[in-house]
Amino acid sequence: MLTIYNDRKLTLLYYFLYGAYRLFTTMKFPILTLFLLSEDISIIQIGVGYSLMSLAVVLSDTPLGYLADKTNEKAIFIGGILIEALSAYFFSQSSTVTLMYISFIFWGIGISTFSGVLEGWYVNNSNRIGTTIKQSHVFSRVRSISNICTFFGILTSSILTTMFSYELTLIIISVLLVIYSVFSSFILNNSLLEKEKNNHNISFKEYFSFIFNVNFIRVLLFFSILGFIYSGYAAIWMPVFESVLGSEINHSLIINSLIYGSIYLLSGLAIIYFSKLLNVFVDSILKQVVVLRMLFASSFFLMAITNQNIFLFSISTLLMFIFGDLEYGPLSEIKNSFLNNNNRIFGLSVFSTCERVLASLGGFIITALYSNFGTSVAFILVSLLTLLSLLAVTPLIEKNNKMKVC
């Protein structure tokens, strides 16, 4: 007999699990590259490591999603966290390039077992107990919690590293992830994570039917382009900000982390307010993502024309994060509308895999645009590409009026 949580307890547990994971894993953000460089590993070799991580996610995401649907979600979830903990420990010992590459591969496998499994678990169980909480609201709040925890993860890591060392901070991250996995095991053991499997009689055609849905393909393309854009921005943001500042400022690790992390913090806080405001003025979640994608594209155009003014450029960058993060809630509900409790985790892993594939291209192409044409041209082209992605979903607006925000 399964212990049934009510909708509030289930949602709070989802918030906690997601937020704690982001807090621990983002502790690597400000220190990993710096640590590896201090170990005489070149920036090119580190770049190869990140590519291997992305490849590991692409290759493992859908198989693990399929296994989670067909076998035991709990085993996949806990196993992935432990693999990621092992990755953090291997990083702390990465005096050789080979061990660093292994660490990145383990990191990619760990990532691929988290988001799809946890989101799928939440939606499946909320459907099963008949939750009255709107999914788009939950996913928006999760995004807010994620960003706020990212800020504290970055700040905590910089403080620990300043007080102790890179190696000890990475070991602490590993230990925290082990504790997280043990805690999750006890908490989720009596929850709905080990759902009653009723999909063993589902036919192959029925299980994979969503893949052949034209509307699913449209939303898949619309979603995946975000990976291309974010990956490209991540590759150029540091040299862009150095260029805007006009001079190199050697702040401490803590100050740099505060500056970088504050964007996540402000975006996370803004989502809480603006997501409510969005629901008041735009009733359809499909229309919401269209409006937000247009604003997201506009923010890149603003970044292109304000890159000579650090204040205006910083505001434009913050708007880019806010509009992109606001899209996460309604877009996640749309993604899940194509799936059911029998194939949800696999379906979400398909979204994740396609996003990663385009992300691997985005880092290269946007970096090339920046290197050859400069900041303004690069951001204008990104803005235009973002607008073009609207062509994938605009035909769906009239056909999906049933998707309303309560």
**pLDDT class of 346 with cuts at 50, 70, 90:** very high
**pLDDT class of 192 with cuts at 50, 70, 90:** very low
Domain shared by 226 and 126, yes or no: no
Please check whether residue 232 is in contact with residue 367, taking contact to mean a CB–CB distance below 8 angstroms. Answer: yes
Domain shared by 92 and 146, yes or no: yes
pLDDT winner (highest mean) among 151-160, 229-238, 255-264: 151-160
> Where is the domain boundary, 195, 223, 245?
195
Q: What is the number of structural domains in the chain?
A: 2
The reply to whether 338 falls in a domain is: yes
Quick one: CA dihedral 176, 113, 361, 379, positive or negative?
negative
Higher pLDDT, 129 or 336: 336
Domain shared by 16 and 58, yes or no: yes
Question: pLDDT (tens digit, 9 = 90+) per residue, 275-321?
Answer: 888 888 887 888 899 999 999 999 999 999 998 887 898 899 889 98
> Where is the domain boundary, 137, 166, 195?
195
DSSP state of 394: G
With a pLDDT cut of 70, the percent of the chain lying above it is 89
Structure confidence at residue 400 (pLDDT):
57
**pLDDT class of 248 with cuts at 50, 70, 90:** very low
The reply to whether 1 falls in a domain is: no
| Long-range pairs, 98-106, Cβ under 8 A, ≥24 | 100/36, 100/41, 100/45, 100/46, 100/49, 101/48, 101/49, 101/52, 103/49, 104/49, 104/50, 104/52, 104/53, 104/56, 105/52, 105/53, 105/56, 106/56
- β-strand partners of 404: 284
The reply to whether 242 falls in a domain is: yes
Domain residues for the domain of 186 are: 7-195
Kindly tell me if the per-residue pLDDT of 347 is higher than 50. Answer: yes
Domain shared by 188 and 214, yes or no: no
Question: pLDDT (tens digit, 9 = 90+) per residue, 200-244?
Answer: 567 888 889 999 999 999 999 999 999 889 888 876 776 676 666
Domain shared by 100 and 127, yes or no: yes
Domain shared by 144 and 220, yes or no: no
Locate 304 and state its tokens.
């292109």
Instruction: Average the pLDDT over each of 34-48, 168-182, 324-338, 340-354 and give the range with the smallest value.
Output: 34-48
Domain shared by 177 and 214, yes or no: no
Q: What mean pLDDT do residues 43-64 have? A: 87
**What is the average pLDDT score of the chain?**
85
- Integer Cα distance of 226 and 362 in angstroms: 9
Burial of 71 (0-12, 13-18, 19+ CB in 10 A): exposed
Higher pLDDT, 238 or 86: 86
Instruction: Average the pLDDT over each of 276-280, 356-360, 364-368, 397-401 and give the range with the smallest value.
Output: 397-401
Structure confidence at residue 5 (pLDDT):
59
Burial of 48 (0-12, 13-18, 19+ CB in 10 A): middle
Please check whether residue 124 is in contact with residue 244, taking contact to mean a CB–CB distance below 8 angstroms. Answer: no
The reply to whether 201 falls in a domain is: no
Domain shared by 134 and 261, yes or no: no
> Where is the domain boundary, 195, 223, 258?
195
Q: What is the CATH number of the domain that holds 234?
A: 1.20.1250.20
The reply to whether 406 falls in a domain is: no
Kindly tell me if the per-residue pLDDT of 399 is higher than 70. Answer: no
Residue 101: partners with Cβ closer than 8 Å, 6 or more residues away: 48, 49, 52
Query: Taking the C-alpha atoms of 298, 299, 302 and 303 in order, what is their torsion angle to the nearest 10 degrees?
Result: -140
Chain centroid to CA 104: 17
Largest CA distance in the chain: 64
Q: What mean pLDDT do residues 89-96 have? A: 92
Higher pLDDT, 204 or 118: 118
Q: What mean pLDDT do residues 347-360 have? A: 89
- Integer Cα distance of 143 and 128 in angstroms: 23
Domain shared by 216 and 113, yes or no: no
Kindly tell me if the per-residue pLDDT of 2 is higher than 50. Answer: no
Higher pLDDT, 402 or 381: 381
Domain shared by 189 and 227, yes or no: no
DSSP 248-293: -----HHHHHHHHHHHHHHHHHHHHHHHHHHHHH--BHHHHHHHHH
Residue 270: partners with Cβ closer than 8 Å, 6 or more residues away: 322
Residue 199: partners with Cβ closer than 8 Å, 6 or more residues away: 69, 70, 207, 341, 342, 343
- Integer Cα distance of 8 and 177 in angstroms: 25
Phi-psi region of 6 (alpha: psi -120 to 50; beta: other; left: phi over 0): beta
